[in-house]
Chains A and B, each alone.
Chain A
Amino acid sequence: MFRSPKCGAFTAALLMSISPVLIAGPLGIGAPATAEMIAGWDIDIRPDGQGLPPGAGSVADGEGLYEAQCASCHGLFGEGAGRWPVLAGGEGTLDTAHPEKTVGSYWPYASTLWDYIHRAMPYPAPQSLTDDEVYAITAYVLYLNDIVDDDFVLNQETFQEVKMPNEPNFYIDDRPDVVNTRCMANCADPALFEIVTTINGVTPTAHFKEDSGVAANHYGNESSGAESVKVALSDAAVAGESVHAKACNVCHGAGIAGAPVTGDAGAWTDRIAQGMSTLNKHAIEGYVGKNGVMPAKGGNMALSDDEVANAVAFMVESSQ
């Protein structure tokens, strides 16, 4: 095949280069991570306080922030609205048949609370709180759990004083704990058997039985809400649809925490009658209504006023 001597030499070189090369040490792949890059992403906090940034927040400051940004889901006293997580209470229940695991009754470290609120809450707008706000809201949730007093101010130093009551009650996994043997005959006494069956109708079985009305998804048997709406939308509403999906649907999609469901005309008629400027003001600045708390911008302060107004346009036009 190769006629010229040059090609022959090339083949020889190729053959030599495919012999395996053993790799030792770094391969030199990737770029150095700069201190600045790391600082932006290194958000974790440890029980010893490592990672806590400078800053401070009081229980008093935390109260207003909590009521505006957290209470719609977690309840004014941390009792949990509807099916959202309970944040306070439950002391003395862990060894009962109905244990209630909350920040106060269960969590071993206060650092976890700071870390988690900062990285993941408020649920619709993670990483939107300032460090001082996280200090204040953390202090307030600790106060709701009777772990600090009402004049407490949380900062890097006072953090060291906070002791969580349930800390001593955790221990390292000690499984395997159960020892079964591989018995093959007469292994159990049927006379002692107690048979427990399921309660029909609590799980979705419509895909293999005729008798079930429970849907196997979060949207019911037919799609509901904004998804099923087929009206011609204005440009603002079209632009608002993705904002709605990201920042508003969490509450307005299924009517969580008292929010009017997008697409449910009945829930919107009276609201729309107030006029767009009131609706926009309520959505941008937040307000407390008869049904619950609408957090400013749905809790997502990174949204511009225009984006929120577009989302309101989408909600209104889809709900007429």
Chain B
Amino acid sequence: MTKLFEPSLPKLMEALASEAQGLKGMDRRNFLKGGIAAVAGLASVQIIPKANAEPNLPPNIPEWQTYLGRGVVAKPYGEPSEFEDLQRRTVPWLTADAQSSISMTPLQDLEGIITPSGLVFERYHGGIPNVNPDQHRLIIHGLVDRPIVLSMDDLRRFPSVSEIRFIECPANGGMEWRGAQMEAVQFTHGMLSCCEWTGVKLSSLLAEVGVKPEGKWILAEGADAAGMSRSIPIEKALDDALIVWGQNGEALRPEQGYPVRLLLPGWEGNTSVKWLRRLEVGDQPWHHREETSKYTDLMPDGRARRFTWVQECNSVITSPCPEKPLRHRGFLEIQGFAWSGKGKIKAVDVSFDGGVNWQRAELKGLVLDKALTRFSLQTQWNGEPWLLQSRAIDETGYVQPTLRQLRDLRGGWSIYHKNSIHTWNVTEKGEVYNVQIS
């Protein structure tokens, strides 16, 4: 067991008390609940276990043990228990309609590092096409020696690989650039998922067609209503790019590009073009809409970065979080996810006082390249208010930045690539609120 950590807060809370004078209305009320009451030494609320009169609890025999249960193949595919509430969710006002929209993964409900296929976040620009795999084709052409057309059957004949990789929308957290806005981890960080993907290396397909020496870029294009298209440099294509048809042990879900998609590990999700129908090799990038109008980063001076592909190192605490408040005093295991588009996670630190002091967390289970990595810190909570943060460091030595550092460089009205340290305000009642320290 790791050392238990005793955060010392009086000085911080004093500072926050004076800070609170500047807050208004609802903000102030939440803040007072969170910080000042405890500092002022008001009696804290005891959390008492609920008295039980449940007929299913010991010493009674639970009702479900008194008759036979469902038999085999009652549900040939199977589904989660009816008692689970596992759902992708969206914030409807973010987009004009449901076809060009986004839904988020319930990170707060996940175990381990794999996202179940049905909970992987969705992002479409023209809805989900209903692709018949027998009639689907992938054409590879352009600056190649042997342009080919591949059926799904053909694709599966190539030597295959399986890799666990995260996918993240570069707009993940984008609503938080201007200020704290979303009241749930599902909405602040849920455009993020991690699956085992099975397919063929793009380099194998390129070897099959023979790329001409002038071939430096590849246009990947989808078979959806948006005809999603992105320019990919040949270096990435030959490095770790995959053409995948398998996801978590079965065929891709329609939401993730059935029957086949591109997967560019560690790069912004939009480049992993779904329902892939065409790869064209060329000598220049195409500068299509999703790499000019969208997915470019406007800077405060009015200029803009293009080809902002990498998802830099990021992390968030998922337990506790607004959806999973603290319900018990005493022992507590804090958990969360860290990930980096540049490789493996090297370390994660946790702060209880808004980033003044930090404590090293443990990495739990598999630590894989460009995959979600779970971290944990065992501690005690006894009703003290916290400004809880996590900070990840990846194998390149990059340290996840503070929000202030990001804003100082990139201004406050960016949309993409907000990977700053996130803060949860844990109140003395154990409620958890999304706040920003700027």
Contacts and interface: CB of A to CB of B under 8 A. Distances in A.
Interface in A96-116: 97-99, 101, 103, 106-109, 111-112, 115-116
Interface string A29-64: 111110001100111111110000000000000000
A99 B413 contact: yes
Contacts of B158: 27, 29
B306 A173 contact: yes
A256 B435 contact: no
B423 to A, nearest CB: 8
A250 B139 contact: no
Contacts of B302: 94-95, 99, 169
B312 A215 contact: no
* Central interface residue in B288, B297, B400, by most chain A CB within 10 Å: B288
A190 interface: yes
Interface stretch (A4-12, A203-211, A229-237, A309-317): A203-211
B328 interface: no
A233 to B, nearest CB: 22
Interface stretch (B22-30, B240-248, B371-379): B22-30
A202 interface: yes
Contacts of A126: 126, 225-227
Chain B contact-residue range equals 35 or more
B147 A203 contact: no
A201 to B, nearest CB: 9
Contacts of B387: 195
B180 interface: yes
A33 B11 CA distance: 71
A173 B149 contact: no
Contact of B358 (A103, A187, A217): A187
Interface stretch (B45-53, B89-97, B256-264): B89-97
Interface string A216-235: 11110000000000000000
Given A177-B409, A182-B393, A187-B355, A254 B97 contact: yes
Interface stretch (B57-65, B74-82, B181-189, B361-369): B181-189
Interface in B372-391: 387, 391
Interface in A69-86: 82-84
B96 A83 contact: yes
B16 interface: yes
Nearest to B139: A33
Contact of A180 (B151, B278, B402, B438): B402
Nearest to A197: B27
B31 A197 contact: yes
A173 B309 contact: yes
Given A26-B210, A198-B181, A101 B95 contact: no
Contacts of B12: 190, 193
B19 A218 contact: no
B203 interface: no
A13 interface: no
A290 interface: no
B87 interface: yes
A42 B141 contact: yes
Nearest to B298: A99
B180 A109 contact: no
A170 B303 contact: yes
Contact of A195 (B95, B157, B353, B435): B435
Contacts of A32: 146-149
* Central interface residue in B159, B229, B347, by most chain A CB within 10 Å: B229
A15 interface: no
A46 B354 CA distance: 48
A67 B434 CA distance: 44
B191 interface: no
A23 B22 CA distance: 69
A184 interface: yes
A302 interface: no
Given A106-B293, A218-B90, 17 more contacts: A23-B159, A37-B139, A42-B278, A101-B298, A123-B126, A169-B304, A170-B306, A171-B305, A175-B305, A180-B391, A188-B355, A195-B387, A197-B31, A198-B434, A198-B435, A200-B26, A204-B91
Interface of B: 11-12, 15-16, 19-20, 22-23, 26-27, 30-31, 85, 87, 89-93, 95-101, 125-126, 139-141, 146-151, 154, 157-159, 179-184, 187, 207-210, 219, 221, 225-227, 229, 277-278, 280, 282, 284, 286-289, 292-293, 296-298, 300-310, 312, 322-323, 347, 349, 353-359, 387, 391, 393, 398-402, 405-406, 409-410, 412-413, 417, 425, 433-438
Interface of A: 23, 25-27, 29-33, 37-38, 41-48, 82-84, 94-95, 97-99, 101, 103, 106-109, 111-112, 115-116, 119-120, 123, 126-127, 169-191, 193-200, 202-205, 207-208, 214-219, 250, 253-254, 256
19 contacts: A33-B147, A41-B221, A42-B280, A44-B229, A98-B413, A109-B292, A112-B287, A123-B225, A186-B357, A190-B354, A194-B438, A195-B23, A196-B437, A197-B31, A197-B435, A217-B92, A218-B101, A250-B97, A256-B97
Q: Which 4 A-B pairs have the closest CB atoms?
A: A95-B302, A216-B89, A119-B227, A83-B96
